[in-house]
Structure 1
Amino acid sequence: MTTDMSGTVVAITGASSGIGEATARLLAARGARLVLGARRGDRLRALVESLAAAGPATAAAAATAGEPAAAADAIAVYAETDVRRRDDVANLVRLAQTHYGRLDVLISNAGIGPVSPLDDLRVDEWDAMIDVNLKGVLHGIAAALPVFRAQGRGHFVTVASTAAYRIVPTMAVYAATKTAVRVLTEGLRQEAGEHVRVTTVSPGFVATPFAEASSNREVRADLLAARDRIAIPPESVAGAIAYAIGQPPEVDVNEIVIRPTAQA
């Protein structure tokens, strides 16, 4: 494994907070060049500026997919990206190509979890989880796979969840989307061939805004209490992602499950 990722071009969805932000900071510290996507452009701009200030003496690039790219030595560029929209994800991959000349890794991290009992009938939230958690990953595959084939190399890293392994009340739809992601990425791995790597990282309870997403007051309170009691920091998951990326090209780490020691 190498901790030096100098020049590795990595695109990250859901990069404005939580696991995505922690991963961006870790990979930037190891020399990677980043293409960051999320819906909150203000948060992305602040992150890019922070990365530039913390890193080598290179100018930050506050570039968007529709604007001219900044200097190619910039630590990071960004594009406002809603993974529910296929064109947005395609634009993010295109930004990597136009700005850095290639894309080495796509980290599909964007996800939402407005969990609730099925009896709540929050159908719009069910639809949103399917659109973001599953279709968003498919949009990433559609955008990056042709690029990786043309380059003769590439790496898909997808953030799933331990909900794909253990289903609990209130999380049926969320768990269904994450189980589907595990199935999808395993199928991708089998079809990828010898030059494209595929990694699925399934975190357990992480100290992110996930617990705040539920619109059911009781569920939200329970999740917040559990988060405060046992959650691991997003930097722990970022380290797992960096581990998979840092393997030699002939080594494909297919699945990583990472959870708090206290989590059942």
Structure 2
Amino acid sequence: MSNIQDKVVIITGASSGIGEATAKELAAKGAKLVLAARREDRLQKLQQEIQKDGGQAIYKVTDVASHEQMEELGAYVLEEFGKIDVMVNNAGVMPLSPLSQLKVKEWDTMIDVNIKGVLYGMAAVLPFMRARKEGHIINVSSIAGHLVFPASAVYSGTKFAVRAITEGLRLEEHANNIRTTLISPGTIATELLDSISDVELKAASIEANQKVQIAPASIARAIAFAIEQPADVAVNEMIVRPTIQEL
């Protein structure tokens, strides 16, 4: 029996990409899933697919940039399942642009989703995990949280922040048996590039990514690996990128 069996797992950004792939991977291993994202039609479709294959999943439409909605998500999970074993803070946006374009609203959105969304996700589950003295918080960063690329200054800044926050959580909560994992994907076939508003940059980014990208299922397997370790083992950090990706 997998160590994932019957664990209650919340996944943000579950409507597509890494979140969707992770939901399917964990459902196949017996997890009880709570799917969170803004697009209800996508959540319903994913829930139906999981249930059709014999898995367990519920969903709640949630904007991770809203502290109130994230708190409501945590309360909903406790009401439905009575516990929270794993929180996967996966939701993110990547509207790349050079700093000189001064796309301040896009900067704000990245900070709200990529940083505050992670913090709100942690806040929604941490009190319960501390009370139980067990739990697992998985934060999805990026290879851009280790390196800065042209036009990625703000995006990379948010993902560097996720690394720092995750390590800070580990230092503060290891004595409470709360495991932390930072997952840093490389080039993955997801919808992230759709949020780039600069037409030329978007086209160039899509073309470059298509040459090396790997499937979101690759990250889903990494997340599953971290979860299924024994409770006394914490996989603290993983970089998962295409073999042929240079940076």
- Do both share a fold (TM > 0.5)? yes
Q: Structure 1 residue 147: deviation in Å?
A: 0.8
Please give the secondary structure, in 2, of the residue aligned with 1:193.
Answer: helix
Q: 1:3 and 1:234 mapped to 2: Cα distance?
A: 21
**Structure 2 letter corresponding to 1:202:** S
Q: Which residue of 1 aligns with 2:99?
A: 118
Contact in 1 for aligned 2:12/2:89 (Cα 8 Å): yes
Alignment of 1:1-264 (within 5 A): 3-55=2-54, 75-194=56-175, 195-264=177-246
Please give the secondary structure, in 2, of the residue aligned with 1:218.
Answer: helix
Going from structure 1 to structure 2, the CA distance change for 1:110 and 1:11 (only over 3 Å counts) comes to: same
Q: Structure 1 residue 227: deviation in Å?
A: 2.0
| Deviant stretches of 4+, over 3 Å | none
Q: 1:231 and 1:28 mapped to 2: Cα distance?
A: 24
TM-score normalized with structure 2 length: 0.97
**Structure 2 letter corresponding to 1:37:** A
Please give the secondary structure, in 2, of the residue aligned with 1:205.
Answer: coil
Contact in 1 for aligned 2:3/2:230 (Cα 8 Å): no
Contact in 2 for aligned 1:199/1:244 (Cα 8 Å): yes
Q: 1:100 and 1:41 mapped to 2: Cα distance?
A: 21
Q: 2:25 and 2:3 mapped to 1: Cα distance?
A: 11
Contact in 1 for aligned 2:84/2:128 (Cα 8 Å): yes
Q: 1:260 and 1:216 mapped to 2: Cα distance?
A: 26
Q: Structure 1 residue 3: deviation in Å?
A: 3.6
Q: 1:4 and 1:152 mapped to 2: Cα distance?
A: 18
Structure 1: 5+ residue stretches without partners: 57-74
**Structure 2 letter corresponding to 1:53:** K
Q: 2:25 and 2:121 mapped to 1: Cα distance?
A: 22
Identity %: 48
Please give the secondary structure, in 1, of the residue aligned with 2:58.
Answer: strand
Q: Over aligned residue pairs, what C-alpha RMSD do you find?
A: 1.0
Please give the secondary structure, in 2, of the residue aligned with 1:220.
Answer: helix
**Structure 1 letter corresponding to 2:76:** L
More moved, 180-189 vs 220-229:
220-229
Q: Structure 1 residue 193: deviation in Å?
A: 2.4
**Structure 1 letter corresponding to 2:65:** R
Please give the secondary structure, in 2, of the residue aligned with 1:231.
Answer: coil
**Structure 2 letter corresponding to 1:104:** D
How many pairs are equivalent? 245
Contact in 1 for aligned 2:3/2:227 (Cα 8 Å): no
Q: 1:149 and 1:166 mapped to 2: Cα distance?
A: 33
Q: 1:255 and 1:219 mapped to 2: Cα distance?
A: 30
